[in-house]
Amino acid sequence: MQGVTLLLLDVPQYTLVGIDTQMFSVGPAFKGIKMIPPASHFLYYTSSTRDGKDFSPIIGFFIDAAPSKC
């Protein structure tokens, strides 16, 4: 099975990024998400304060992850 890599560069630290049912808190080394199964997925994100108490509205959209044809 081939996985897809989604590059998400320069995402501010403390942002919450999610795909389907998985959510990640962005740290200083975050560069994206890898090993995504080829299919349609729901990607979403929200920014938060450093203490994690306040969040902006969640923004999300669907992506169609497919392996490159190279």
pLDDT in tens, 15-46: 999 999 999 999 999 999 999 999 999 999 99
Does residue 1 carry a pLDDT above 70? no
Q: What is the pLDDT of residue 30?
A: 95
- Classify residue 70: in a domain, yes or no: no
Q: What is the pLDDT of residue 67?
A: 76
Q: What is the pLDDT of residue 66?
A: 86
Contacts of residue 42, Cβ cutoff 8 Å, sequence gap at least 6: 19, 20, 60, 61, 62, 63
Number of domains in the chain: 1
33 close to 8: Cβ distance less than 8 angstroms: yes
- Classify residue 44: in a domain, yes or no: yes
Read off the pLDDT band of 53 (50, 70, 90): confident
- Classify residue 26: in a domain, yes or no: yes
Domain of 10, in residue numbers: 4-65
